[in-house]
Amino acid sequence: MNVRYDTIPSLQAFLDALPEAVRSTRIDPVPPRNHNDWSALMPEAPAALFCPRTTEDIAVLLRAANTHRISVVPQGGLTGLCGGARPVSSGIALSLEKMVGIEEIDPASATITVLAGTPLEVVQNAAAEAGLYFPLDLGARGSCTIGGNASTNAGGNRVIRYGLMRDLVLGLEAVLSNGTVIDATTKLIKNNTGYDLRQLFLGSEGTLGIITRLVLRLQPAPGCTHAALCGMGDYASVLRLLDGARRKLGPTLSAFEVMWPDYWQIACDVPGVRSPLTQQHVFRVLIEAQGTNEAIDSARFTTFLEEMFDDGVLEDAVLSQSLSDIKTFWGVRDACSEFKVTLGPHLAYDVGLPTRQADEFAKACAAAITQAVPGGKSVFYGHVADGNLHLLAWLPGAKYQPAKAFDTAVYSTVREFGGSVSAEHGIGTTKKPYLEHSRTAQEIALMRLIKTALDPNGILNPGKVIDL
Amino acid sequence: MNVRYDTIPSLQAFLDALPEAVRSTRIDPVPPRNHNDWSALMPEAPAALFCPRTTEDIAVLLRAANTHRISVVPQGGLTGLCGGARPVSSGIALSLEKMVGIEEIDPASATITVLAGTPLEVVQNAAAEAGLYFPLDLGARGSCTIGGNASTNAGGNRVIRYGLMRDLVLGLEAVLSNGTVIDATTKLIKNNTGYDLRQLFLGSEGTLGIITRLVLRLQPAPGCTHAALCGMGDYASVLRLLDGARRKLGPTLSAFEVMWPDYWQIACDVPGVRSPLTQQHVFRVLIEAQGTNEAIDSARFTTFLEEMFDDGVLEDAVLSQSLSDIKTFWGVRDACSEFKVTLGPHLAYDVGLPTRQADEFAKACAAAITQAVPGGKSVFYGHVADGNLHLLAWLPGAKYQPAKAFDTAVYSTVREFGGSVSAEHGIGTTKKPYLEHSRTAQEIALMRLIKTALDPNGILNPGKVIDL
């Protein structure tokens, strides 16, 4: 499967230019897992794989790659869904998997300093052991790396409370395409000394530099968590519940997950998933608050829901009485991870819409899907409070899903609503054709200008996010 | 005072190139207020002043300025302290003061869309009228503009709760040096579609583009506010109080202001300032929490302080019983704005340090000041929870303050501690000589690379932040 060197004339020259200590970080043959990320693209073996252990090694690799015009695809936990870490046979893959470790926890500054290849779950656990909390969380926590989370500006369920990865990074170290090391590993929240270089590397999917080290902001561990599953008759009630939650739960509000009716039905059909709501409703919302004190915050949560019920916003609600209840509630929301089994092949989308228009969009998008693919079905759910809607589309019983038709229907509707074709998954290669549905020609031209300035030879993750 | 046109050969050609509608936005003669910002630099009249009313007018102005190589200094409320908006006689000033207005408030998305010249206080009031809250706040709220707040990444007292301006901007529109309009006015919190272009313009002090329009994130209005003034015997206790506040007040914690002993003495000598603490302490901390419900959050706040007292962290504490008490407490913290009168001429610094080292820094810096300027005095205070320390230095009775010696003593100590020479005020021109105390040569080179890519003719706010 590995490509022979003679297909890339300069690869041998590149290898010869490396000092032995760096050349020895090569893994040959390339393990199959490094041939792809979690996208549905065909696997492709890189011409070579390197797993360096230090920033200095990465600097040497990039300097040589830049000189010899060798493409470099950075890899973390390979859990991305858009092909951002999929290697190319005409270049090398540079995996951060050996750059693992917690370097420091500073309780006074509430920071943790970590190497980029460290798995997210290891960071979460290290913070917890110090009595603190790293709030980023997503399903792939055991496999994804913190550097990958940073490069893709990962989101997750608790963005309304704690922000995206972009908001959790105080400082970072990154290596530019020419091997220059940018050491911006500050712990400072307030640091107005010139341009914020962090932001160039956060969310740019490894196309502007390779993140090697991160200083992350930690939070106090939540003292208690409360959740409820709410049933409502219309989207106006969902918006009233959200408004109430913002006001009455204030900054303790940590999740607000909306499930449209078709989603609910399919989720409850997943084996092991139990619906705590017994009546029929149009919308179901999972609402969660993280407080500091069980007695105080439990009363606040209960009072809030009683008020919403008395005001006619809720048709019904079930409150968590235990951690086990909270797990059951999230079980319905997370049932989508089992849909591959119960639903069969389907396409998953991750789009952004202004909160007010999410239901209007869902209706328009469902209609567009049915029109584009007769018999096509769709379900909607998501983190609506931060404008992030997930949707699934499929043609029941079809051997091949009409992906292109679904894509066109979904992304055209997104464009009509002024939404985002990728709320949290990124662009990679799979969403690149639709980038211009969400960004203007002027924005894309400015992205190209920045890419060209930072990586004039285009060696860093070429073909990802934008084309030159 | 206005420079004659013949000193800038191309100015007439630039003026001639403008369509009449844009040429008519010129204000001649230039009012004295546009000759400087609030920095201590000498006023300088720009060759011409324009006050355009639309983004399109600004695009036309910049396109012509770029063609004719005319420098453009953007101006907002002119309340900056570092000379970032001070014009130059060899170029024009472009004031956003006529670009004023609230365009939309969207309660479901919790956003407000505003023109860049709108004063901060107008934005705050518009949010409040809609039952929402724009949390950025600073002394100059009535004069400073929201575009200036964005360009300088303004901070203020409640950064630990709500973040800096960078965290409050969801979308923006900006005009590049060549007149290209970048429309990135999204309302979406989650939008991972390529590079985050917002961040280029936020905090870059008008050197990469002129911000013309902003979409800001709003918060629910706080339901109640509680405050306390605490007296403590050592810095270890301050850190224990901070740790306790983070855990027990959780996300309601909205301010944590530390005052060193000399500061306290001088503040209490300001006429009209009243000390609610009667005993002597080494450190005083003003702690504030914004909750949702008076009954619930008042109990939490009181219990927290009682625990801290029982644990021996606090020597004494006075709790607010009314809004008037809260005002009195902030009166001591804000007394520094009167120091010009009570203390006489002095130099004010705004630096960033890791929270753990703030006291160690204060001691080292005070010693460096006394060593550099025999008889020199200093006081320290600030938003220590987010690493932001303010300090004042002066030589009592001196006709001319030895500014250079003070600068060197302070910024050398900042460099030793790995701190920031500007936590929230920015770099402008006055802090430019010390930028390399906080940023590496590689970082500054990368800033130059970006500046050159976006503004190849160097017309935008030349000489500010970095030199080319």
Q: A290 in a domain, yes or no?
A: yes
Tell me the chain B residues in contact with residue A443 when contact means C-beta distances shorter than 8 Å. Answer: 182-184, 194, 197
Amino acid identity at B328 = T
Lowest mean pLDDT among A3-12, A188-197, B40-49, B404-413: A3-12
CATH number of domain containing B310: 3.30.70.2190
Amino acid identity at B254 = S
CATH number of domain containing B185: 3.30.465.10
Domains: count for chain B: 4
Say if residue A356 is in the same domain as residue A315: no
- Tell me the pairing of strands B210-217 and B219-220: unpaired
Residue A275, pLDDT score:
87
Q: Among B219, B250, B354, whose Cβ lies nearest the Cβ of A187?
A: B354
Say if residue B127 is in the same domain as residue B211: yes
CATH number of domain containing A55: 3.30.43.10
ipTM of the prediction: 0.95
Q: A393 in a domain, yes or no?
A: yes
Rounded to whole angstroms, the Cα distance separating B221 from B290 reads 9
Say if residue B253 is in the same domain as residue B330: yes
Rounded to 5 degrees, φ, ψ at A80 are -65, 150
Cis peptide before B220 (omega within 30 of 0): no
Q: A146 in a domain, yes or no?
A: yes
Say if residue A247 is in the same domain as residue A357: no
Q: A301 in a domain, yes or no?
A: yes
Of all residues in chain A, the percent with pLDDT exceeding 70 is: 99
Rounded to whole angstroms, the Cα distance separating B84 from B326 reads 34
Q: B453 in a domain, yes or no?
A: no
Query: CB-hemisphere CA count at 13 Å for B156?
Result: 25
Say if residue B262 is in the same domain as residue B316: yes
Q: Which two tokens stand for residue A275?
A: 């619906």
Q: What is the dihedral of CA A94, A98, A104, A110, to 10 degrees?
A: 60
Q: Which two tokens stand for residue A404?
A: 């292109």
Q: Kindly state whether A456 is in contact with chain B, defined as any CB-CB distance less than 8 angstroms.
A: no
CB atoms within 10 A of CB B409: 24
By the 8 A CB rule, do B385 and B425 touch?
A: no
By the 8 A CB rule, do B202 and B221 touch?
A: no
The parent domain of residue A127 ranges over: 102-220
**Nearest chain B Cα to A198, which residue?**
B199
* Interface touch A450/B195, C-beta < 8 Å: yes
| Binding-face residues of B in 110-149 toward A, CB within 8 A | 110
Say if residue B348 is in the same domain as residue B374: yes
Amino acid identity at B191 = N
Residue B7, pLDDT score:
60
* Helix spans in B93-153 (H): 120-129, 146-151
**Nearest chain A Cα to B436, which residue?**
A193
Residue B1, pLDDT score:
40
Please list, in sequence order, all residues whose beta carbon lies within 8 angstroms of the beta carbon of residue A325, skipping any fewer than 6 positions away: A227, A276, A318, A319
- Chain B closest-CA separation from residue A368 CA (Å): 23
Q: B349 in a domain, yes or no?
A: yes
Tell me the chain B residues in contact with residue A250 when contact means C-beta distances shorter than 8 Å. Answer: 220, 222-223, 251-252, 290-292
Rounded to 5 degrees, φ, ψ at A204 are -95, 10
Q: Which two tokens stand for residue A286?
A: 């999972």
* Interface touch B180/A442, C-beta < 8 Å: yes
How confident is residue A425, by pLDDT bands cut at 50, 70 and 90? very high
Q: B256 in a domain, yes or no?
A: yes
Q: Among B184, B250, B444, whose Cβ lies nearest the Cβ of A291?
A: B250
Please list, in sequence order, all residues whose beta carbon lies within 8 angstroms of the beta carbon of residue B290, skipping any fewer than 6 positions away: A250, B161, B222, B224, B225, B252, B254
- Burial class, A78, CB count within 10 angstroms (exposed 0-12 / middle 13-18 / buried 19+): buried
Residue A404, pLDDT score:
95
Amino acid identity at A153 = N
DSSP state of A251: G
Say if residue A202 is in the same domain as residue A284: no
Say if residue B243 is in the same domain as residue B261: yes
Q: Could you tell me where the beta strands, DSSP code E, fall in B292-376?
A: 316-319, 347-352
Q: Among A110, A247, A447, whose Cβ lies nearest the Cβ of B194?
A: A447
Rounded to whole angstroms, the Cα distance separating A198 from A211 reads 10
Say if residue B136 is in the same domain as residue B210: yes
Q: Could you tell me where the beta strands, DSSP code E, fall in A116-260?
A: 132-133, 169-175, 181-184, 210-217, 219-220, 224-232, 253-259
Query: CB-hemisphere CA count at 13 Å for B440?
Result: 14
Q: Domain end: B319, B337, B355, which one?
A: B337
Say if residue B333 is in the same domain as residue B242: yes
Q: Has residue A106 got a pLDDT over 90?
A: yes
| Binding-face residues of A in 13-72 toward B, CB within 8 A | none
DSSP state of B344: -
Can you tell me the mean pLDDT for A224-246?
A: 97
Say if residue B276 is in the same domain as residue B364: no
Query: CB-hemisphere CA count at 13 Å for A259?
Result: 27
Q: Domain end: A337, A354, A371, which one?
A: A337
Say if residue B266 is in the same domain as residue B331: yes
Q: How many residues does chain B have?
A: 468
Q: B329 in a domain, yes or no?
A: yes
Tell me the chain A residues in contact with residue B352 when contact means C-beta distances shorter than 8 Å. Answer: 188, 190-191
pLDDT tens track of chain B, all 468 residues? 444 444 677 899 999 999 999 999 999 999 999 999 998 899 999 999 999 999 999 999 999 999 999 999 999 999 999 999 999 999 999 999 999 999 999 999 999 999 999 999 999 999 999 999 999 999 899 999 999 999 999 998 899 999 999 999 999 999 999 999 999 999 999 999 999 999 999 999 999 999 999 999 999 999 999 999 999 999 999 999 999 999 999 999 999 999 999 999 999 999 988 889 989 999 999 999 999 999 899 999 999 999 999 999 999 999 999 999 999 999 998 888 888 888 889 999 999 999 999 999 999 999 999 999 999 999 999 999 999 999 999 999 998 999 999 999 999 999 999 999 999 999 999 999 999 999 999 999 999 999 999 999 999 999 999 998
- Chain A closest-CA separation from residue B336 CA (Å): 20
Q: Could you tell me where the beta strands, DSSP code E, fall in A218-372?
A: 219-220, 224-232, 253-259, 283-291, 316-319, 347-352
Best mutation target among B162, B169, B193, B425 (most A Cβ atoms within 10 Å) is: B193
Q: Domain end: B295, B311, B337, which one?
A: B337
Cis peptide before B29 (omega within 30 of 0): yes
* Interface touch A300/B300, C-beta < 8 Å: no
Residue B3, pLDDT score:
45
Q: Kindly state whether A449 is in contact with chain B, defined as any CB-CB distance less than 8 angstroms.
A: yes
Rounded to whole angstroms, the Cα distance separating A56 from A58 reads 5
Q: Kindly state whether B97 is in contact with chain A, defined as any CB-CB distance less than 8 angstroms.
A: no
* Interface touch A387/B190, C-beta < 8 Å: yes
Q: Which is nearest to B443 in space by CA: A212, A56, A200?
A: A200
The string over B151-183, giving b where at least 16 C-beta atoms fall within 10 Å of a residue's C-beta and e elsewhere, is: bbbbbbbbbbbbbbbbbbbbbbbbbbbbbbbbb
**Nearest chain B Cα to A254, which residue?**
B251
Q: Has residue A7 got a pLDDT over 80?
A: no
Please list, in sequence order, all residues whose beta carbon lies within 8 angstroms of the beta carbon of residue B98, skipping any fewer than 6 positions away: B25, B51, B52, B53, B117
